[in-house]
Structure 1
Amino acid sequence: MQYILPSIRLWLVTFLVCVVLYTALILGFAQAATPFAANGSIVAVGGKAVGSELVAQKFTSPRYFWPRPSAVDYNAMGAAGSNKSPTSPDLTKRAEETIAAYGATPDRPLPADLVAASGGGLDPHISLAGALYQAGRVAEARGLPRGEVERLIEAQAASVGGPLAPERIVNVLQLNLALDRLGR
């Protein structure tokens, strides 16, 4: 009995310091230093939330750029890869359907990132090559010159990896919002 009361006090102090105080400190610092990121990088248009810069969304209309495939159907509550073997018939079927949806041919192969899901299934970016591959379809669906769509893609592309990963990538949500701002 002599150890129960000190044990409870130690548990309470540990809980308050490690759970409550630490969490409040980290949250307060994040809110002060980077409030946009701390609040989920939510993108709003006209005061209405339309998505997050950090989580892929499912776009299926030919008027929009499509993201990478998602093993979790773009559900942020269950971010995960598929855990299927590369020889899985399910993955083969999904890849064949994706290739057919893009109209890829041996003469015009589909960039790999448009066929393969990312590890978490929610990667909001595609490669510059993946965006340029879709430019023709999007331009035609919107009645825009392909060159205008390609210039928009180039303007949205960024090299976020620095010198160690210089390949340029494009945030699909931001690119689609930029398209909508064109008004067609």
Structure 2
Amino acid sequence: MNTHATPTANIDDRVSLRAPLLFAAVTLLGFGLAYSLAGTALGRVAFPDQAVGSIVERDGKAVGSALIAQPFADTKYFQPRPSAAKYDPMAASGSNQARSNPDLRKRIAEDTAAIAQREGIAVGEVPAELATQSGGGLDPHISPRAAQVQAARVAKARGVEVSKVEALIAANTEAPQFGVLGQPRVNVLKLNLALDAAR
């Protein structure tokens, strides 16, 4: 009995492999490469700033992202919300502490008292967001009210009138998205850069 494959059998094997190999190549190149390149190109055209991380530049140098909060140590700058992630974009997270957690309550009370002292206002006037962390720990925005309570300190540190700082807050207040989503907000990085540019 002849156990060797005939030439016809070899041809049939090649034909039967052609379709799955062709399908695999089309899938890999089409969806793995072409689709990704098309999506990236479309994003760069339709949303050029967001596609590269909404990088904010000053004098041609990147100073941060409009999407990620960063700390400002100097008293002449507005302060963002506190961050459970220490403002590290690679460690975005909330504190994961429940509102009933005694450690969380203690930290918020201490931070609120410190903010009130720093801004020269009563404890009850401190907006909650200045003492609480956002869910991702990197929220770059504060409310106009949270900016307003910092205006006097910033103006004093810069030696300018409060009205000038308040005008910059108003000019940098963003309306709700599409006019209905969210609340008015102020991007802290952009506001601080506007302060530096106005000197």
Task: Confirm or deny a common fold (TM above 0.5).
Answer: yes
- Asked if 1:74 corresponds to 2:87, the answer is yes
Partner of 1:139 in structure 2? Answer: 155
- SS of 1:141's partner is helix
Q: In structure 2, what is the Cα distance between the partners aligned to 1:47 and 1:110?
A: 36
User: Relative to structure 2, which stretch is displaced further, 71-80 or 97-106?
Assistant: 97-106
TM, length-normalised to structure 2: 0.81
Aligned match for 1:54, one of 67, 77, 83:
67
Aligned length: 182
Alignment of 1:1-184 (within 5 A): 10-103=23-116, 106=122, 108-165=124-181, 167-183=183-199
Determine helix, strand or coil for the equivalent of 2:186.
Answer: strand
Separation in structure 2 between the aligned mates of residue 94 and residue 8 of structure 1, nearest angstrom: 61
CA change 1:76–1:46 in 2 (3 A) is: same
What secondary structure, in the 3-state scheme, does the structure 2 residue paired with 1:164 have?
Answer: coil
Q: Which has the larger radius of gyration?
A: 2
Q: Report if the CA contact (8 A) 2:76-2:154 is conserved.
A: yes
Per-residue CA deviation, residues 29-50 of structure 1 (Å, 9 max, x unaligned), is: 1112222221111111111110
CA distance in 2, matches of 1:69, 1:19: 40
The answer to which of 23-32 and 112-121 deviates more is 112-121
Q: Is the Cα contact below 8 Å between 2:116 and 2:122 reproduced in 1?
A: no
CA distance in 2, matches of 1:170, 1:4: 60
| Alignment partners' CA distance in 1, 2:190 and 2:141 | 10
Amino acid at match of 2:133: A
Aligned-CA RMSD value: 2.3
Q: Is the 8 A contact 2:174 2:185 kept in 1?
A: yes
State the 1:17 CA deviation: 2.6
Give the drift of 1:164: 2.6
Partner letter of residue 57 of structure 1? Q
Aligned 8 A contact 2:116 2:123 in 1: no
Please give the secondary structure, in 1, of the residue aligned with 2:125.
coil
Please list every run of 5 or more consecutive structure 1 residues that lacks an aligned counterpart in the other structure: none
TM-score normalised by length of structure 1: 0.87
Paired-residue identity, %: 43
